[in-house]
Structure 1
């Protein structure tokens, strides 16, 4: 793990590479300062969504950074009220217009809450948008194995990514195991448990490595082969969250963190993985 860095990437089934750490911008409509700080510090991965209402701000930050567009990996997601074939194609174009981009690196179905028929219509639209060159890689979020199997059974290409709430207290083990078996990259949203990091085990391990509990939680994700997406609106914390490549958690301490899992009851967000 010592060779891992902020420049490290993972190859997705689409053939494209995704950086191992991303900046989340949920609930941060004025995300330009955080994005600029992240890009200046070396981040090359920003994760947003249509429901976050800040696609235009992310696009502006990318332009203001002076970093070539092709060097920055940008994700957005379509929210379930917009699901459906034609509405999804329109949403993808609207996202591109808001960003001011010609393409998006990754576009996800934000959740499975629209029901099977709409989910599959939406996926078909994303497949077609990818064929049209508007999206490089397509994936899902908050999907259980059952939801992903719908895609396989319909004969479509499989998602390259599944983004779920994931941290030591909600480890989503059945989903992670399924995705790893099927070559699907798992991205971890809410890796910082919305700041609820005062667990004694986490505090003890943070003290051992002279790191913050947030840094330990992010490092735990990385060592499990996940892509954590820590969110912060504060530039200093954005930088701190990336200072996780100069240490490694040993096997004993990883086991202690693994033992904190509470299953779905450990979730601190909507976590709609059981949607019908």
Structure 2
């Protein structure tokens, strides 16, 4: 069954809007794990707009020996006051997986994958270091991206398909073209020995259709929609609803 990794960034956004320690990202992660989540995801940005380095360490202690831990971030982002740099955070907590994302400070959210023709040589030594630390490496990639062979050649374990365009097309009523692009890219990745994850704007409304159209997805990382739905239905029931969708996915998905 596809693993559900719950992204708790939005809990930190709410906490930071008021100051203090509530709502607690640790308590949210605990609730998600109790409800059956198979992983916890965070994306600590240099501007600390949501998840902070202290959260990364606190969550590492919560998930240890229980579920997977996935750190997302830009490996090229340099250290700055209060933020040691993405690679330093990974080194400190040694998560299950590092998902490398080419986002800049000015982006509201991740909205594109790597251009490997441009970035592969810069990524290569960083991937090697992550692998030496025993961390699984995933690259955030667009559906239809070229040069996936470069990812395989540098030792990357997985790609994460950026599913924002799919979600937009699904909401507009016709996702056939986008699901085809995702399926073709996933098939190419698997042919190169790469696992396939997916994330961004996946929700209860579109996740089932995505998994039926893109078989073999190993992990989905979901945060924004999940916590929006949880405001109405509760976090535990919402996580369980996602697990029911994953369990109902076709064999091999």
The answer on whether the counterparts of 1:230 and 1:241 sit within 8 Å (CA) in structure 2 is no
Q: Secondary structure at the match of 2:65?
A: helix
Q: Are residues 1:220 and 2:225 paired?
A: no
CA RMSD of superposed structures (Å): 3.7
Q: How far does residue 178 in structure 1 lie from its aligned partner after superposition?
A: 1.8
Give the Cα separation in 2 of the matches to 1:61 and 1:128: 25
- In 1, the alpha carbon distance for the partners of 2:114 and 2:185 equals 22
Shift of 1:117: 6.9
Q: Which moved more, 1:238-247 or 1:20-29?
A: 238-247
Residue 35 of structure 1, CA deviation = 1.1
| CA 249–37 in structure 1, closer or farther in 2 if over 3 Å, else same | closer
CA contact (8 A) 1:48 1:55 kept: no
The 2-side partners of 1:45 and 1:250 are apart by 19
- Structure 1: state its 5+ residue gaps: 1-7, 10-19, 84-88, 193-213, 252-276
State the 1:76 CA deviation: 1.4
1:106 to 82, 97, 100: 97
TM-score (norm 2): 0.61
CA distance, structure 2, for counterparts of residue 77 and residue 28 of structure 1: 16
Superposed displacement of residue 110, structure 1: 0.8
Match of 1:79 in 2: 74
Query: Given the superposition, is the C-alpha separation of residues 121 and 160 from structure 1 closer, same or farther in structure 2, using an over 3 Å criterion?
Result: same
> In the alignment, what sits opposite 1:46?
40
In 2, the alpha carbon distance for the partners of 1:115 and 1:241 equals: 35
Cα distance in 1, alignment partners of residues 66 and 44 from structure 2 = 22
> Tell me, what secondary structure is at the counterpart of 1:190?
coil
Determine the structure 2 residue equivalent to 1:25: 8
Is contact 1:28-1:54 (8 Å) kept?
no
Question: Is the Cα contact below 8 Å between 2:53 and 2:89 reproduced in 1?
Answer: no
TM-score, length of structure 1 as denominator length: 0.57
Name 2:139's counterpart in structure 1.
Answer: 140
Give unmatched runs, 5+ long, in structure 2.
16-24, 79-83, 103-111
Q: Distance in 1 between matches of 2:221 and 2:4?
A: 6
In 2: Cα distance, 1:250 partner to 1:80 partner = 33
The Cα shift of 1:116 comes to 5.1
